[in-house]
Structure 1
Amino acid sequence: MMDIGTLTLNPTLDVACEVEQVIPMRKMRARNEHYDPGGGGINVARVFVRLGGNARCYYLSGGATGIALDGLLDLHQLVRSPIRIAGETRVSTAVHERSTGQEFRFVPGGPEVKEAEWRECLSKLGQARHDFLVASGSLPRGVPTNFYAQVAAIAAENGMRFVLDTSGEALAQGIAGGKVFLAKPSLGEFRALVGGDLPDDTAIAEAATDLVRSGKVEYLAVTMAERGALLASAGGSLRLPAITVQTKSAVGAGDSFLAAMVHALSSGKPVDEAFRFGLAAGAAAVLTPGTDLCRADDVKRLFNRLSS
């Protein structure tokens, strides 16, 4: 059975609901409320398990909201290894406005993490044994920007392939430390990483291939929303257009892409096929409202469409 560990340092209790219209200074009666465990790594685990794999969630959990998050993970039948912190786990909200079809997303910064707490996280990861270790999401306040580089070193020592999906200085330092099997920045995150505008596909492909050939990362997948995605490896690059679907929510598309790609890789599929499977999952995620992420049947259907 395919087995991964996922790391979420700034998880969320995700709330999704609908209102007829968003009006300032008014009490708006919501309906179709939905509560899910969230944050990058947790979302990856949710999708990975839906696709038939096993996932253990390593995450920081604090306060009453942290207890609620623990309970939601149990409802989703996810194996969990929480690291307790003093701060409160954040609550994120997605509001769908029915009158316009627009979605409004409110994402707090999250708690401040003490040194003893993030060191305890590293200690717990030192005991982890998985095929892949996927670190996804932002770093909360108090966690050093080279944290993911430290996690990559632990993963390498324990024989786990390390997958990274983050942004800013956390991404830059995570890759600079090397030992990254796969990184998945968005186009905006990749532009910030390399410090260039990358005005066209050729520039994006060259920059991505150069980074792979530096030896810091084995594979690089750059997701570009409606423009599709690009995969770079030592042998060159593969660019695929987006799969056209009806958009209901943008929540979790990148996490779904990553989960499906890692799922295919852990099944022994070639990297180009895994990349296509990821693209199908990213498209499948926008078909589902709120924080529901992608559904396995949609992923397989869209993958078959892409492969035909």
Structure 2
Amino acid sequence: MEKIEHATVRTNGINMHVASVGDGPDTVLFLHGFPDLWYSWRHQMVSLATLGYRTVAPDLRGFGSTDAPPSAASYTAFQVVGDLVGMLDALGIGRVFVVGHDWGAMMAWYLCLLRPDRVKALVNTSVEWFPRDPERKPVESMRAKLGDDYYVCRFQEPGAAEEDFSKADIAMLFKLFLTGRDPSPPVVPKVLGFSGLTKLVEDQQVDLPSWLTEDDINYYAAQFSRTGFTGGLNYYRCWDLNWELSAPWTGTRIEVPVKFIVGDLDLTYHLPGVKEYIHGGGFRRAVPNLEEVVVMEGVAHFLQQEKHQEVTAHIHDFLKKFSSP
């Protein structure tokens, strides 16, 4: 960890915090999700740097030490991809390997869709690429399938989720987020809220697994106590806006080489229709150069931390096929 360097890069009108380590000829760009930070990739960054790669992991806009524009409409995939391209330009990096998780996986898909010329290959985790449905907005579809209390639907109202999170013990909130192993879709009744979930366990000892330390929890809690959650929540509030803006790309396929990894206890893997899509041919039709799908047994959402050595090995096994000699 002490080898990781930190810098601020000016890109696309914002200041972006970038962590990096290594100086190899090939660069691996790591993209985190919600509620997360560059920090989730710490193990992979150091390990791949020792294997000869340059590794780069920014805090995405709205997270950590990167600027958080106030308008929810400033968090579309187009702006985030613009941030990433500008960051790579500022660092003098051309084409990269990309590794994404959660919202970072979604942004990685969009980077491959919009700027495939900057991507050598992609290892994505947790979130698959669904082709754009020209008939129905995504949040509307989620509401119809999973109801108003589904967390994505709950996050749509500006300020509501922020108020809920502000009442929670943030350290306990991250313990629940990071150690959760219930793969069912997160449905949180408004009367309970996420703050209510933390209160249900406030008198209990939440034992951390071997892969997570109190220092890790304290890092997340300190960062999100400082910044709040609005920046990250705005990604959810742009989901339908992304759908509108991406209309010209309807039917466009992801053409870069891809490896996909998901835990069999990941909530994303258990959403209605996802398993059938991944294993039934739909995923490969949308991503024709999908070379491998890995389902990790007994692994939940934050797989890059829970099974960091195995995930690093999966990443390296794929990237080395395309790496510089």
TM-score, normalised relative to structure 1: 0.27
Richer in helix (by share): 2
TM-score, normalised relative to structure 2: 0.26
Higher relative contact order (CA 8 A, sep 6+): 2
Richer in strand (by share): 1
